Structure 1
Amino acid sequence: MQAPACTNAPACTFPFATMQSHGVRIARSHAYDWVALLLLIAMECVLNAIEPFHRFVGEGMIADLRYPLKSNTVPVWAVPIVAVIAPMLIFIAIYIWRRNAYDLHHATIGILFSVLITGVLTDAIKNAVGRPRPNFFWRCFPDGIAVYDNITTAVICHGDASVIKEGHKSFPSGHSSWSFAGLGFLSWYLAGKITVFDRRGHVAKLCVVILPLLVAAVIAISRVDDYWHHWQDVFAGGILGMVIASVCYLQFFPPPSDDKGFWPHAHFRYISDREEESRRRRTTEMSNSDSTAVVPRQGETGANTSRTLDAMESERVCKRVPAARVGTGTHRRWKSMSNTTTPALLAKLRGTKLREIG
């Protein structure tokens, strides 16, 4: 399919590359990336199954960990919906509007990489640090009766094992990191699509870009309000998610402040390849049309072939030579012809008086 050269992104309203025409080829060219995503999912499952480091919690420390054990304001299952599925719906809406399969594919794979890389790093740090949550006391002693070691004064938990395991995963906040990884990527994406940094000073565009970050911040703050995380956990998770989102976005898209920030890098690479292919095709066609092959007839010698070529060249030049006058005009004409005609042909033509043509 011949794609139109669409480099002025916001002005492109015609179909450029649909999923029907380019989807399979794009997916095949990024097959290794999709395999990497599957590996990240497997790593995430393994990290969730691993028992985290049980950091020492003594009798003197438990006073700061007696916050009530509340339910989640934002459930765990709601985070992927808000941070991944909702942005993907926006990607699909823009695809329906602009019909660019490169944009849809790279936005989708970019946000998946963002949240999965963030999730793997978050869970790996959780397991390694093993920081107790603010409500660890009630996880360890659900009946409120504390039991400590007589020598080390370490807590001797008698609560549910899975609840205690989750109690050692405070740092960093997974809700916070996932929210900023997904919604931070969406914020970058919207900044490029609405050209927020076009130097025209439209504050309304900036508000649209900040809105996803505000939603992520509200989700992160709810973790402190629910006493599931310390404020340091939420802050670190937000920074981690936003950094990974920025890296993943810039891997696939130019910066929003760039003149080409509307489309992904692959869009312009495809345009460049098609233009180069078109230039090569035109060059080949022009060279084929300008070249005339002379095949010697049977029995014709090399000298006869040379004379045939001289005659063809003479005929071609005479057709291009306009009316020429004798005297001074003829001299000027011979001088101009000498710049474009072979010496052998000029010698042949100079032997004959040039008559006025036309």
Structure 2
Amino acid sequence: MMTDIRYPVKPSTVPAWAVPIISILCPWVIFISIYIAKRDVYDFHHATLGVLFAVLITAVFTDVIKTAVGRPRPDFFWRCFPDGNQLYNQVTGGVICHGEKSFLTDGRKSFPSGHTSWSFAGLGFLSLYLSGKIKAFNRQGHVAKLCIVILPLLLASLVGISRVDDYRHHWEDVFVGGLIGWGPYAYFHMLEELQAANSSVAQNQQSTPTGGQHIGLSRLEHDRKSLNDLESGSV
């Protein structure tokens, strides 16, 4: 256990102030660019609200889990003992941390990774938004379109990798953070496609008997007309 939390303290490659820029401002710049080109206020309004709502819900959910779990970061040892001298209570045997209190409090918020969940929430929304705008998954899609869609997710992944490299999170923290940020999108998108497929099947089942009934009535009317023609001597 102690070996997992004795990594050195390093400065963050992606500081905390940069996370809102990556997860909110970067997608918003794309939204503005598309608005200038298309002049669609409705689309811009919903895109802005969508990314803000996604990041806000993810941030609240992530912070609640962080506080509840309280998992030590990989560099927690040096946060607890800045000079390297381990102090323990002689009676209870408990650890006596003599590091800065705020630094220690932050050191027990390893699970899950907030940087990763924020990044996947904002950039994941941007990825789905772009896939719809450029029609990346239609039958005429090209590899270049797929690369555009994957690019935001790649950037979010790099943010998560930097957190492990900086010894701020364990790899499990980053993995779960990515699931929190991206998982709901994948789930609800799959649910929407499933509902659309079920609706299409139901419509086909309803339209098939109706079509057969129309064909039967047409044939019956044709037979009656032929019989009348025969009786009247028109044929």
Q: TM-score range by the shorter chain?
A: 0.7 to 0.9
AA aligned opposite 1:217: S
Q: Is 1:168 aligned to residue 108 of structure 2?
A: yes
AA aligned opposite 2:123: L
In structure 2, C-alpha distance between the alignment counterparts of 1:130 and 1:185, rounded to whole Å: 28
Spell out the pairing of 1:243-282 with structure 2 (5 A cutoff): 243-246=183-186
RMSD: 1.8
Question: What SS is found at the alignment partner of 2:73?
Answer: coil
The structure whose RCO (Cα within 8 Å, separation 6+) is larger is: 2
In structure 1, C-alpha distance between the alignment counterparts of 2:36 and 2:27, rounded to whole Å: 14
Question: What SS is found at the alignment partner of 1:242?
Answer: helix
The Cα shift of 1:80 comes to 0.8
Which residue in 2 is equivalent to 1:130? 70
AA aligned opposite 2:105: K
Question: What SS is found at the alignment partner of 1:133?
Answer: coil
In structure 1, C-alpha distance between the alignment counterparts of 2:44 and 2:179, rounded to whole Å: 26
Unaligned runs of 5+ in 1: 1-60, 259-358
Q: Deviations over 1:6-55 (max 9, x none)?
A: xxxxxxxxxxxxxxxxxxxxxxxxxxxxxxxxxxxxxxxxxxxxxxxxxx
The Cα shift of 1:136 comes to 0.3
In structure 1, C-alpha distance between the alignment counterparts of 2:144 and 2:109, rounded to whole Å: 39
What TM-score comes out, normalization by structure 2 length? 0.78
Q: Is 1:83 aligned to residue 23 of structure 2?
A: yes
Select the residue among 84, 87, 99 that pairs with 1:159: 99
In structure 2, C-alpha distance between the alignment counterparts of 1:134 and 1:208, rounded to whole Å: 34
Q: Is 1:114 aligned to residue 57 of structure 2?
A: no
Spell out the pairing of 1:87-236 with structure 2 (5 A cutoff): 87-150=27-90, 152-236=92-176
Q: Deviations over 1:227-261 (max 9, x none)?
A: 0000000000001000245578x6xxx87xx9xxx
In structure 2, C-alpha distance between the alignment counterparts of 1:238 and 1:66, rounded to whole Å: 25
In structure 1, C-alpha distance between the alignment counterparts of 2:142 and 2:119, rounded to whole Å: 26
Aligned residues: 192
Question: What SS is found at the alignment partner of 2:36?
Answer: helix
The percentage of aligned residue pairs carrying the same residue is 62
In structure 2, C-alpha distance between the alignment counterparts of 1:151 and 1:184, rounded to whole Å: 51
Q: Call closer, same or farther: CA 1:129–1:77 in 2, change over 3 Å.
A: same
AA aligned opposite 1:148: Y
The Cα shift of 1:82 comes to 1.2
Unaligned runs of 5+ in 2: 197-235
AA aligned opposite 1:69: V
Contact preservation (8 Å) 2:135, 2:141: no
In structure 1, C-alpha distance between the alignment counterparts of 2:117 and 2:92, rounded to whole Å: 35
Question: What SS is found at the alignment partner of 1:235?
Answer: helix
In structure 1, C-alpha distance between the alignment counterparts of 2:131 and 2:141, rounded to whole Å: 13
Contact preservation (8 Å) 1:184, 1:246: no
Q: Deviations over 1:153-175 (max 9, x none)?
A: 43210110000000000000000
The Cα shift of 1:179 comes to 0.4
**Greater Rg, structure 1 or structure 2?**
1
Return the structure number with greater helix share: 2
AA aligned opposite 1:64: D
Q: Deviations over 1:78-137 (max 9, x none)?
A: 111111101101101111111111100000000001101000000000000000000000
The Cα shift of 1:201 comes to 4.1
The Cα shift of 1:63 comes to 2.9
The Cα shift of 1:151 comes to 5.1
